Structures are given as C-alpha cells and as structure tokens.
Amino acid sequence: MGLNTSDAMRSTGTAVPLTRADVEKLLQTVESTDKLDLSGQNMRGINLSELKLAGANLSGTNLMAANLSAANLSKATLIGTNLCGANLVAADLSEANLSEADLIGANLIMTKLKGADLSHANLSRALLLMANLTAAILEQAILSGAYMCHANLSEARLEQAILSGTILKAARMYESEKSLLENRGVIDLEKVQVIVR
C-alpha cells in the first residue's frame, strides 16, 4: 500500500515531511506493520522513537536527522534510505535490509543489527558503540571513521568494506575475523577482544 502524498503537499507542490501522527494514522489502516509502505516518503526530522515498524518498507525514504531511538525496525526494508545524522540509539534493526543506505554520522549506540544487510551502506563517522552486528553483512560498506568500540562483530561479513580510520577498540570478534582486518587502516585492531570458540 503506497501513501497518498496529495495530503502532504503544500500549495507550492513541495512535499511536506510526514509527522508521527501521519505514520500512526497509516498504521491503523494496515493489518500488520509488515504491510506498511512508506517508501520514498519525506520523513526528515520525524520522531518515531519507540514505534513498532517491524517489516515496514522504508526504502528510499528521507529519514535524515530522524529520531528512531528504541524503535522496532526488525526485518524492515530500508534500501537506499537516507539516515544521515539519525538517532537510532537502542533501535532494533535485526535482519533489516539497509543495503545502500546512507548512515553518515548516524547514532547507532547499542543498536541491534544482528543479521542486518548493510552491504554498500555508508556508515562514515557513524557511532556504533556497543552495537550488536553479529552475522551482519557489511560487504563493500563504507566504515571510514566509524566508532565501533565494544561492538559485537562476531560472524560479521566485512569483505571489501572500507575501514580506513575505523575505531575497533574492545570490539568483539573471532581471531579468524580479526586477521582479515590487518593492514586495512583499522585503529586499535590490537585492542580487539577475541572470542574463543
């Protein structure tokens, strides 16, 4: 179900960002959150903290500077979504598809990203302190300058990820995963916590 954007248009024809009330109203029209389609919408700066949006389609949506703290976005589709500067503290993005998403400077402290697809995503300067990235797909992701201290990276796939300036102090991973990160510009790689199998 696509959103009828005519209600969110000014007389000038410019899309007005959706509000939390708009999203809550749309949630009442679908039988479950996985039927909610907000793809391509302007939701810049919206406050969706603690909202349940599991399985929703938010692909190509502008969520720049949005507050999604503690929101449930597990299994949501966010392909190519703009999440620059978004607050995703303690959000649940487990098994979400964030491929090609733009997360520059996003706050992902304590965010659950277990099994999430972040391939080709831009996470430059993102804060991933204590984030759970177990089994996350980070292939060809840009992690330049990302702060990933105490993050759980066990079984995460980092093939061809750009890691220049990525800080991994006290991040958790297996020895075999750590060895693949040598000579890739990672900061504090020697301070990674190796998980014993």
| pLDDT at residue 15, as a whole number | 78
| pLDDT at residue 197, as a whole number | 78
Q: Does 136 score more than 90 pLDDT?
A: yes
User: Parallel, antiparallel, or unpaired for β 193-195 and 172-174?
Assistant: parallel
The per-residue pLDDT for range 35-68, each reduced to its tens digit, is: 999 999 999 999 999 999 999 999 999 999 999 9
What is d(CA 119, CA 140) in angstroms, rounded to the nearest whole number? 6
Name the β-bridge partners of 157: 137
| Burial class of residue 44, CB neighbours in 10 A (0-12, 13-18, 19+) | middle
Q: Which amino acid is at 150?
A: H
What are the structural domains, with CATH classification, of the chain?
Answer: 1-197 (2.160.20.80)
